[in-house]
Chain A
Amino acid sequence: MLEEQNGSKTFIIFELAGTTYAVRSRLVQQMEMIEEITPVPNAPASVEGVVFSRGRVIPALNLRVRFGFERIPIDLRTRLIVIEVGERNVGLIVDSAREFISIEASAIQPPNEAISGLSGKYIEGIATVDNRIVLILDLSEVINLAEILIGDQPAHTGAQPAKQG
């Protein structure tokens, strides 16, 4: 409703490893507390498992692992942010999330190479809201398949089957 009005856009902001991130609320389907995630054998390390969301089976992606932070146990503050990008639905596991904010388009700057850290290439822009610095995520990069499947192999990857002949 407020979306795209007066040059401002609405975002969901969440915390991850002490940093504040924002995702476009338009791409967020829902946000829920995490009860249980069913692990999937042989899935990439950042894929914690599967959950049901509105009758669909979706992957739960641990954003800490995805961005190279340390994994922490799921607690009461942990949230699953279910996003819809293109045809895909993915749940993002984040430390905590609760705010819904509107950011003026003019308050968003392109990412500064010097301050983009581990999550650098997933950052679409940087905004300052109430003296807080918020990193705006490019969700299609965050759930980029090729990168997760190839670049982010399971930690316990064993020997690949040797080719015969």
Chain B
Amino acid sequence: MSIAGPEKNSEFLAEFLDDYFAESEEHLAGARRGLLALEHFVHQSNIDRASLDGLFRSFHSLKGISGMVGVRAAERLAHQMESYLRALRDWQATLSPEGMDALIAGAGLLEKIISEHRAHAPITDPSQLMARLDAIISEARNNRPVDNSTTGSVSTEPDPLRTSLQALAIGDGKNVWRFDFVPKPELSARGINVNYIRAGLQQVGELMHAAPRVTPEGGIAFEFLVSTSEEITSFPDLFDDGVTYARQVLLPAGGAATVDVDVAAAPVEPMTASYQALSSRASNMVRVDLARLDELMRMVGDLVISRSRLDERVKHLEAALPAPEWRPLQETSLAMERQLRDLREGVMRVRMVPIGEIFERMQFVVRDLAREYEKQVKLELSGHQTEIDKFLVERLMDPILHLVRNAVSHGIEAPNERTALGKPREGTIALRASAAAETIVIEMEDDGRGVDAEQVIARACAMGIGIRGRGAGAGARGSGVGAESISGPREYEKLTEAKIEKAENIDSAELLELICAPGFSTRAEADRASGRGVGMNVVSNTIRGLGGTLELKTEAGKGTLFRIQLPLTLAIADALIVQAGHHRFAVPQASVREVIQIDASEIKILENNDVIVYRGAALPLLRLTRLFGLPEDQREYFHAFIVGSGLNTVGIAVDRILGQREIVVRVINDPLIQVAGVAGATELGDGRAVLILDAAALARPAEGRRIAAHNNGLPRPSNKSVESRTDA
């Protein structure tokens, strides 16, 4: 479809395009929910009318809006899906499993096509699926129980929604008017676009229906139905704005049928879509560009800093002035702090969306994969109302998808195997989300066979993947299977030894590290769903990139649990303020497990490594002063904060802990000051920049040592100390 001269109307279309993507997302989400409900009706013909209507509306809207922006493939596909739904509803056809599959595949393909359009990528041809739908519809037509010979083709029926609304209003004694609006560049120049007209019509009466349609010339036009209780005969203002109108009447004999009288415009094409979503439902919703919210968040950040400056000044006054002078100031400052916190939460809440969106999609993934692998799996969802930052939702989709795929393909056993093991035939995957304090926890648990440590170790050895910290060399993570991440043949032997002697001793953090290693795969041959060898590595990198952590718990024969923990927001965080070598640093509290005090005499030196005994095990201690090449005093005691998990647990020693406070995270953009171990900078109210430590990077042995080596020219320490810890 060409839309009335792409050049002339490009501005007009651009206005709609953003709305189109946002709206199609909503309709697709609605369609997915509808399809899940519909699945209970496979093999049945008396399908719940409400479910069908809901789905029908979703596809109908998708068809309409896709047509409007010229995404022809999506329009055609949605049309075909709508036809099938109509067949189910009007002919009471039996919903076949093939039909259900085609609907689900169609929803997936629609989503794909729309995102391809968004990315300006080549668009997938939906013909094959459409042919499938066509065959299914023909079958339904042949089997229909009652021949209601009114129409040969379903698609030429009048829009039922419009018809019934219209009948209702006219029956109510109201006047129904039909308005047609054809957007034109010269109108657009006067500020007259479809939104303007719609607003104007809402003044005239109740807007019942609004839909775009394609004119015979290939242009685009909008039709509106408005009911008024007043007797109005003309709308001169609207006429000036390029709107034509006509009164609608109800033919007494025609039942619900209505005809358009004295309408000069072309007959309405079958490709008419409900434009309802834009006109009525969205009335109290606002779509906001995420960038604008970021900007708002930044301004709140500025306010937080200004307030801490104010606080700082008040503290100075406390020493110099009598209490009655400074107390009101202090109270005001404290009140402002609370208000700012509320403001910050308010802005954050605007950015929050329920995680349910991701969870619901997993229903389809599980359904498809279970069929593909001939397994029986049910998905249990909880906490899908948990709200997370929109930014995180978009980035979490792939990691969660991958974990769920792995669970179905690797975790859950085949039904017969499960029966033999005394487990229920149907496996269970649970997806849970919850918010705790400043973090979001997402768990994916299956009751399958668990991660086979021996198999993982064997595969790792075969592929030459080592556990950092176990063998002689420690490699940088995520650097690919390069010289740094594989530590030479000597290392594999060590690993094999470890496997034979103490397979049970491999802790889950080490196991996770192996399966997250670049290139790791448990399958000799990659299959479609999982085991492509990039998966877990990408999962762990993505989560780390978001400032989160990934944990694994697994028990042979019982199941596997992955726990993702993420900070609630990225811009403002609670932090420990520490001091080392006369400099202050901020450490995000979310990454700190514990703070301890250490007597200098407790520190043992094992081959250049500082180690302390902590909870009955040896804990490597990194001194921030050495990592960063800062001046070091002779001290009798230190403070240390514990970061990392599993074998990456380290204590980072600082001179003292100064306190705890809320900080505004400023990212470091310039490469000149992007250094390992520093995540950003903040300001504590005195105008000075304070570096925010990237505790996770410091905890990674390779990086920590590299930072130190870079700075001090120290030889690379061996990791005997780490091993002694595992033995302890």
- A residues in contact (CB < 8 Å) with B: 35-36, 38-44, 47, 49-52, 55-59, 61, 88-90, 143, 145, 148-149, 156-165
Q: Taking the nearest CB of chain A, how far is it from the CB of B467, in angstroms?
A: 14
CA distance A66 to B447 in the complex (A): 61
Which residue of the partner chain B has the closest CB to A88? B670
Given known A-B contacts A57-B666, A165-B483, A165-B487, A43 and B672 have beta carbons under 8 A apart? yes
Query: Is B710 within 8 A of A160, CB to CB?
Result: yes
B99 is an interface residue with CB less than 8 A from chain A: no
Q: How far is the CB of A35 from chain B (nearest CB, A)?
A: 6
Known pairs A59-B673, A61-B672, A165-B488; A41 contacts B678 (CB<8 A) = yes
CB distance from A150 to the nearest CB of B (A): 11
Bound complex: CA A89 to CA B668 (Å):
11
Contact B688 A164 (CB under 8 A): no
Of A35, A40, A157, A165, which is within 8 A of B673 by CB? A40
| Complex contact A161–B709 (CB within 8 A) | yes
Given contacts A52-B687, A58-B670, contact A42 B716 (CB under 8 A): no
The answer to whether A145 and B672 have CB atoms under 8 Å apart is yes
Beyond A90-B672, A161-B710, A165-B489, 6 extra complex contacts between A and B, CB < 8 Å? A38-B691, A41-B627, A41-B630, A58-B673, A59-B672, A164-B487
Give Cα A11 to B473, complex, Å: 54
Q: Which of B547-599 contact A (CB under 8 A)?
A: 583
**B210 CB to nearest chain A CB (Å):** 43
A126, B198: Cα distance in complex, Å = 64
A residues in contact with B668, CB < 8 Å: 50, 57
Give the complex CA separation of A70 and B673 in angstroms: 22
A-contact bits for B701-728, CB 8 A (1 contact / 0 none) = 0000111011111111000000000000
B714 near A57 with CB under 8 A, answer no
**Are B666's CB and A56's CB within 8 A?**
yes
The residue that B688 contacts in the complex, of A36, A156, A160, with Cβ under 8 A, is A36
A105 CB to nearest chain B CB (Å): 32
- The digit string for B472-490, where 1 denotes a CB below 8 A from any CB of A, is 1101000000011011110
Q: Is the CB of A38 within 8 A of B583?
A: yes
**Complex Cα spacing A165 to B101, Å:** 52
Among A38, A39, A41, A55, which residue has its beta carbon within 8 angstroms of that of B711? A41
The distance in angstroms between the C-alpha atoms of A49 and B671, with both chains bound, is 12
Residue of B nearest to A61 (CB): B672
Interface residues of B in 656-674 (CB under 8 A from A): 666-673
Q: What chain B residues lie within 8 Å of A56 (beta carbons)?
A: 666, 669
In the complex, are the beta carbons of B671 and A149 less than 8 A apart?
yes
Q: Does B347 contact A (CB under 8 A)?
A: no
Residues of chain A within 8 A (CB-CB) of B475 are 164
Contact A42 B707 (CB under 8 A): yes
Contact call B688/A38, Cβ cutoff below 8 A: yes
Nearest opposing residue in chain B for A54, CB measure:
B302
CB distance from B548 to the nearest CB of A (A): 23
Note all chain A residues with C-beta closer than 8 A to B483.
163-165
| Contact in complex: B709, A145 (CB < 8 Å) | no
* A157 contact set on B, CB distance < 8 A: 710, 713
Q: Kindly identify which residue among B473, B487, B689, B711 contacts A57, using a CB–CB cutoff of 8 Å.
A: B689
Majority SS of interface residues in chain A? loop
Q: Does B242 contact A (CB under 8 A)?
A: no
- Asked if B716 contacts A162 (CB within 8 A), the reply is yes
B678: chain A residues within 8 A (beta carbon):
40-41
Contact assessment for A42 and B711 in the assembled complex, using a CB-CB cutoff below 8 Å: yes
Task: Name 21 A/B residue pairs within 8 A (Cβ), A-sorted.
Answer: A38-B688, A39-B583, A41-B707, A42-B676, A42-B707, A42-B710, A43-B675, A52-B666, A55-B298, A57-B667, A57-B670, A59-B672, A89-B670, A145-B671, A156-B713, A158-B711, A159-B715, A161-B705, A161-B710, A161-B716, A164-B487
Closest Cβ of chain A: how far from B31's Cβ, in Å? 41
A156 touches B711 (CB 8 A): yes
What B residues does A47 contact at CB under 8 A?
Answer: 672-673
* B681 contacts A by Cβ under 8 Å: yes
Identity of the chain A residue whose Cβ is nearest the Cβ of B678 in the assembled complex: A40
Q: Is the beta-carbon distance between B673 and A57 smaller than 8 angstroms? A: yes
Separation in Å of the B347 CB from the closest CB of chain A?
A: 17
The reply to whether A50 and B689 contact each other, CB–CB distance below 8 Å, is yes
Q: Which residues of A contact B486 (CB under 8 A)?
A: 165
A156 to B627, CA, bound (A): 13
- Cβ-defined contact, A163 with B484, below 8 A: yes
Q: In the complex, how many angstroms separate the beta carbon of A7 from the nearest chain B beta carbon?
A: 34
A51:B484 contact, CB within 8 angstroms: no
Asked whether, in the complex, the Cβ of A55 is within 8 Å of the Cβ of B302, the reply is yes
Q: How far is the CB of B99 from chain A (nearest CB, A)?
A: 53
Task: Indicate whether B443 reaches chain A with its CB closer than 8 angstroms.
Answer: no
User: At the interface, yes or no: B677 with Cβ under 8 Å from chain A?
Assistant: yes
B489 to A, closest residue via Cβ? A165
Q: In the complex, what residues of A have CB within 8 A of residue B513's CB?
A: none
The answer to whether B687 and A35 have CB atoms under 8 Å apart is: yes
A158 touches B673 (CB 8 A): no
Q: Contacts of A49 on B, CB cut-off 8 Å? A: 673, 689
Residues in B with CB closer than 8 Å to A44 are 672
CA distance A57 to B670 in the complex (A): 8
